[in-house]
Amino acid sequence: MKTWPYPRVAAHRGGGTLAPENTLAGLCVGAGFGHTMVEFDAKLSADNIAFLLHDDTVDRTSNGRGAAAQLRYAQIAAFDAGSWCDPRFEDEHMPTLAEAAQCCREEGLAANVEIKPCAGRDTETGRIVGAETAKLWKKASGLPPLLSSFSFEALAAAREAAPDLPRGLLFERVPDDWREQTAALGCLSLHASHRHLDQALVARIKEAGLFVLAYTVNELERARELASWGVDTICTDRIDLIDPHALDG
């Protein structure tokens, strides 16, 4: 029987709600609360640089405007991606995947790299992010990065580019054909919204030989309930409330 190597708690987008998401400051804030695993989103700029951003546009989390797929990374890097969260994060930028990998090494963080393609760029994003993740973490000690995506096509391309990296397929609500989809991708894990999980479904997923990651769990009581069902890792914004050892034992 395979064992799940990752921590029980992962810090969502780095620092949860306590720091600007998908930034180096966010990763460091997560580490500062003692977390040893972070989740963050990776997509491509117009010139195919892999960098950290959740949305298709830069509008919500920076002082910039426009679609990421239409902006070169040099333009994106110049935006202030921190002040929207708190003035003390002024001039924080949207880092490259390479910068995030370096930060994870320095802070001793395991990474869940969510491949977040812009519309129409699934295969390209999966291929580039997968290959770059494998290269960046090749000589790193510690746990291998866990690749995940809501996009079947992106995760399939990542598998082709980085076959040795573990993969998890993301769903909001787990579909009826989850077994077929995860098997086709050779997944180690299935990731789903905790709102649509119940004890029986978690049991079925585990019986199929998959590990389970639940997102985004912000109440300690709910996190402990999910853990009691067999959920292996919960991803949380409340990195202050759900500490790294909250689900141990």
Annotated catalytic residues are: 12, 54
With a CB cutoff of 8 Å and minimum separation 6, the contacts of 137 are: 101, 111, 144, 145
Q: CA 87, CA 249: separation in Å to the nearest integer?
A: 39
Three-class DSSP category at 43: strand
Assign 3-state DSSP to the chain and report helix, strand, coil percentages, each to 5. Answer: 35, 20, 45
Pairing of strands 167-171, 211-215: unpaired
Pairing of strands 37-44, 50-52: antiparallel
Q: CA 68, CA 37: separation in Å to the nearest integer?
A: 26
